[in-house]
C-alpha cells in the first residue's frame, strides 16, 4: 500500500512538472527571422600612394525562418526557406528547405527536398524536466540548458528589451521573455581562444503576439503520413490483407498502377516476406526513390530510407542489391513511359488507399447490418 501511495505521488509530481514547464512568458505568437551567413571579401586599397590589402566578412540573408508557438512554448512549429545562393545572389523565389515540430519530448524534422522525417530528442525539454527545481529557481530555460550562463546586459530588439547571454566562446543569445530574438555564432581558436569572425547569425525581423496561431500548424500532413507508415507493422499489414480489402487496390502485372509521391504500397514478396514501401520521390531521371521495410516474426529484417530504382528495372525486393536474380524471385517492375507505373510480377502488391487521402488514417472496420 505504501509503495502504491509513493508511486501515485511520484506520478502526480511528474504530471505537475509537465504542466508547469512553460519555456516562454508569452502564450502564443509568430516570429520571422533572417538567417545571415558571411562571405569573405578581399581586395586592395590605396591611400597616399600606399597599397594595403584587406579582408572583411560581408553578411547576406541566406534563409528565412518563420517560427510559431502556442501554450507558452509547449508546442512550436518552424518553416525554413532558402532565399539566396552562396554569396548572397537572390533566388527567383524562395525554396522550402525544412519544417520542424516541437511537441512533448519530440523534435520532428521534415526534410522538404528528400521528403523524409526524423525524430530527435527535445533536449531543452528533457533537461529542464531533469533539473526542474533548478529551472524553477532560475525561471529561465536558457540558464537551465546552458548551466553557468547568465544574463549580463540588455538590448532593444524590435522594441523588446532582450536579455543578453554569452553562452560560451562560440555563441551569444538575446532573448525576450524566453523567446530568442537574436543569436550569433563565432569562429574561435579552441574553446578558450579568442573570438574571430561571426560565422552565422539569426535575427528576428518581425514578431506578432496578437494574431491567433492556427492549430493545424502543429499537426502537419507529413507527420500524419509518417505516423500512418510507422503504424504498419507486420501484424497490421497481414490483418489488412486478410480482412480489409476495401482499403487496398491490387497492383497487377498487365496494367500496373500509376504511382504518386507519398503513396504507400503493402506487399508479400515471392518468398512470402511481408513488407511496405513509400514513394519519396520520382526524380527528373525517372528514378523511383522509396523507403521500405521487410518483416519477419514481427521484426524488421531489412530496409532502406532512400533506395533508388532506375527506370525499366525489375526488382527482387527481398534482396534488392543483388543483381543476379532468378526470374521466379522478382517482385515488381518500375517503368516510366507515358505514366509512372508499378507492375507487380506476383499477386502480392497493394496500394494503401488511405495514403492518398488528407486524413491519412485507416478507418475502423464496421460490420454491415
Enter the C-alpha cell of residue 24: 516562454
Q: Single out the residue in 185, 217, 249 at which a domain terminates.
A: 217
Q: Are residues 93 and 196 in the same domain?
A: yes
Mean pLDDT of 316-322: 88
Q: Considering the domain boundaries, does residue 195 fall inside one?
A: yes
- Examine residue 364 and state whether it is found in any structural domain, yes or no: no
Spell out the alpha helix ranges (H) of 131-271.
Answer: 132-138, 141-145, 221-230, 234-243
Whether residue 164 sits in one domain with residue 113: yes
Q: Which of 162, 189, 217 is the C-terminal boundary of a domain? A: 217
Distance, CA of 105 to chain centre:
14
Is 131 a residue whose pLDDT tops 70? yes
Closest CA to 24 of 210, 179, 183, 180: 179
Question: pLDDT per residue over 258-291, tens digit each?
Answer: 999 999 999 999 999 999 999 999 999 999 999 9
CA distance 288 to 241: 25
pLDDT at 9: 39
pLDDT above 50 (res 113): yes
The verdict on residue 13 lying in a domain is: no
Is 363 part of any domain? no
Q: From CA 312, how far away is CA 290, in angstroms rounded?
A: 15
Residues 239 and 341 in one domain: yes
pLDDT in tens, 169-182: 999 999 999 999 99
The verdict on 120 and 193 lying in the same domain is: yes
Residues 35 and 158 in one domain: yes
The reply to whether 55 and 197 lie within a common domain is: yes
Question: What's the domain range around 162?
Answer: 21-217
Coil vs helix vs strand at 36? strand
Q: Is residue 12 part of a domain?
A: no
Same structural domain, 227 and 329: yes
Rounded to whole angstroms, how far apart are CA atoms 251 and 351?
7
Which residue among 183, 217, 251 closes a domain? Answer: 217
Whether residues 255 and 338 share a domain: the answer is yes
Residue 344 belongs to some domain of the structure = yes
Residues 138, 200, single domain; the answer is yes
Rounded distance between C-alpha atoms, residue 325 and residue 332, angstroms: 13
pLDDT tens across 181-209, in order?
999 999 887 777 788 888 999 999 999 99
Domain containing 211 — which CATH number? 2.50.20
* 50-81 confidence digits (pLDDT tens): 777 766 778 999 999 999 999 999 999 999 99
Residue 369 lies in a domain: no
**Domains: count for the chain:** 2
How many degrees, rounded to 5, is the angle at CA 205 between CA 203 and CA 207?
A: 115
How far is 213 from 369, CA to CA, in rounded Å?
43
> Both 128 and 70 in a single domain?
yes
pTM, rounded to two decimals: 0.86
- Co-location of 190 and 288 in the same domain: no
What gap in Å lies between CA 217 and CA 95, rounded to an integer? 19
- Domain assignment present for residue 2? The answer is no
Do 160 and 250 belong to one domain? no
Amino acid at each position: 500500500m505504501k509503495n502504491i501511495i509513493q508511486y501515485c505521488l511520484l506520478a502526480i509530481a511528474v504530471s505537475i512538472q509537465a504542466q508547469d514547464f512553460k519555456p516562454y512568458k508569452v502564450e502564443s505568437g509568430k516570429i520571422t527571422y533572417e538567417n545571415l551567413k558571411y562571405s569573405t571579401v578581399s581586395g586592395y586599397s590605396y591611400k597616399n600612394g600606399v597599397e594595403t590589402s584587406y579582408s572583411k566578412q560581408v553578411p547576406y540573408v541566406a534563409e528565412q525562418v518563420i517560427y510559431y508557438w502556442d501554450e507558452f512554448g509547449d508546442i512550436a512549429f518552424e518553416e525554413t526557406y532558402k532565399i539566396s545562393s552562396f554569396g548572397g545572389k537572390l533566388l527567383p523565389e524562395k525554396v522550402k528547405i525544412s519544417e520542424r515540430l516541437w511537441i512533448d519530448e519530440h523534435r520532428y524534422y521534415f526534410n522538404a527536398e528528400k521528403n523524409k522525417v526524423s525524430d530527435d530528442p527535445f533536449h531543452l525539454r528533457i533537461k529542464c524536466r531533469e533539473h526542474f527545481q533548478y529551472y524553477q529557481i532560475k525561471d529561465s530555460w536558457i540558464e537551465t540548458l546552458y548551466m553557468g550562463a547568465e544574463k549580463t546586459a540588455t538590448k532593444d530588439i524590435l522594441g523588446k528589451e532582450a536579455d543578453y547571454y554569452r553562452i560560451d566562446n562560440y555563441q551569444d543569445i538575446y532573448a525576450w521573455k524566453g523567446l530568442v530574438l537574436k543569436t550569433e555564432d563565432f569562429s574561435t581558436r579552441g574553446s578558450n581562444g579568442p573570438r574571430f569572425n561571426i560565422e552565422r547569425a539569426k535575427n528576428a525581423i518581425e514578431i506578432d503576439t496578437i494574431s491567433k496561431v492556427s492549430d493545424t500548424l502543429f499537426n502537419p500532413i507529413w507527420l500524419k503520413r509518417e505516423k500512418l507508415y510507422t503504424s504498419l507493422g507486420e501484424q497490421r499489414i497481414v490483418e489488412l490483407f486478410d480482412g480489409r480489402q476495401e482499403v487496398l487496390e491490387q497492383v497487377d502485372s498487365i496494367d500496373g498502377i500509376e504511382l504518386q509521391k507519398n503513396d504507400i504500397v503493402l506487399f508479400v514478396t515471392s518468398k512470402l516476406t511481408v513488407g511496405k514501401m513509400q514513394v519519396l520521390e520520382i526524380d527528373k531521371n525517372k528514378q523511383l526513390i522509396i523507403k521500405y521495410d521487410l518483416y519477419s516474426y514481427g521484426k524488421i529484417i531489412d530496409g532502406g530510407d532512400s533506395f533508388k530504382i532506375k527506370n525499366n528495372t525489375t526488382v527482387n525486393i527481398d534482396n534488392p542489391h543483388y543483381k543476379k536474380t532468378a526470374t521466379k524471385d522478382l517482385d515488381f517492375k518500375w517503368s516510366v513511359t507515358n505514366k509512372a507505373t508499378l507492375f507487380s510480377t506476383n499477386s502480392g502488391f497493394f496500394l494503401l488507399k488511405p495514403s492518398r487521402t488528407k486524413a491519412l488514417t485507416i478507418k475502423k472496420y464496421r460490420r454491415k447490418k
